[in-house]
Structure 1
Amino acid sequence: MSSHLTTHVLDASSGTPAQNVVVSLARHLPGGGTAGVAQAFTDVDGRAALGPERLEPGMYALTFGTGAWFADRGIASFYPLVTVTFTVEDTDRHYHVPLLLSPFAYSTYRGS
C-alpha cells in the first residue's frame, strides 16, 4: 500500500463537506525550515489527495486555508489557517488526516 496523504474536510456547523478548501503539505527540514511538497483543493465531497505515492520519514505540516473558505461564504471565523503537524515513521502506510471545521473551532484525528 502506498503512503500518500489524504484528507477530508467537513463543515461541522452545517454537517456538509467543505468543498474548495486549499490544502498545502510541507515537510519540516532537518536543521530548520520547511519545503513545500504539494497543494490541492478539496473536491465536492471535501476530500483531497496530496503528495507523492510514498512519503519519506519525517515531520510534515498540513495547512488548511479555512479563513478564506469561510470568507467566501460571508462567514466570520477565528482561525485563518489550521495547521496540523504530524510525523511519518512507517513509509508503507497510507496517512489520512481529517479536519472537522466550524467558524470558531476545529478538530482533527488520525484517520484510516
Structure 2
Amino acid sequence: MGKLSTHVLDTAHGRPGAGVKVELFTVDEGSRSLVKTDLTNADGRCGAPLLEGEALRTGLYELVFHAGDYFAAQGVALPAPRFLDRITIAFGVHDGSQNYHVPLVVTPWSYSTYRGS
C-alpha cells in the first residue's frame, strides 16, 4: 500500500521547517479540490501520511506550502509582496501502490523538490 508524504527543509537557517501550513489538492480537468490541510511538526514533517492506501489514487495533485508565512514568523525581513509566498508543487501519481515523498527545500528566495522514497 502506497502513501504520500512531505517535509520541509529550511536551508536558510539549516533546520527543519516547523509550523509550515501545507495544503493538498487533487486536480481534475483543471479544477482543484482541497483534500487535506496540515502543519509540519518540529522535524518539518506532517505527523502522518497525507494520503495512504486506497486514498492514494492515480492522478494529478498539488501541494501548497505557505512558505512566506513561515519565514515571516521566523523574523525574516521580507519585501511586500513577498518573492516566494505560497509555493505550489504540481505532480502526478502513476501508481498508488508506491510511496511518493515530495519534500520542499526552501529559502525566502529559492526552492527545490524531488521525489523521495
Structure 1 length as normaliser, TM-score?
A: 0.91
Q: 1:1-112 maps to which residues of 2 (within 5 A)?
A: 2-30=1-29, 32-48=30-46, 49-53=49-53, 54-75=55-76, 76=78, 78-112=83-117
Contact 1:57/1:91 (8 A) holds in 2: yes
Shift of 1:82: 0.6
What is the distance in 1 between the residues matched to 2:34 and 2:18? 22
What is the distance in 2 between the residues matched to 1:70 and 1:92? 35
Q: Which residues of structure 2 form unaligned runs of 5+?
A: none
CA RMSD of aligned residues (A): 1.2
Between the aligned residues of both structures, percent identity stands at: 41
Contact 1:18/1:45 (8 A) holds in 2: yes
Contact 2:3/2:97 (8 A) holds in 1: no
Provide closer, same or farther for how the CA distance between residues 98 and 111 of structure 1 changes in structure 2, counting only shifts above 3 A.
same
Q: Which residues of structure 1 form unaligned runs of 5+?
A: none
The C-alpha deviation readout for 1:39-92, integer Å capped at 9, x for no partner, is 110011001131343311110000000011011122125200111000011010
What is the distance in 1 between the residues matched to 2:52 and 2:37? 11
Structure 2 length as normaliser, TM-score?
A: 0.88
What is the distance in 2 between the residues matched to 1:3 and 1:26? 18
What is the distance in 1 between the residues matched to 2:83 and 2:72? 11
What is the distance in 1 between the residues matched to 2:75 and 2:3? 33
Q: Which runs of 4 or more aligned residues in structure 1 lie more than 2 Å from their structure 2 counterparts after TM superposition? A: 51-54
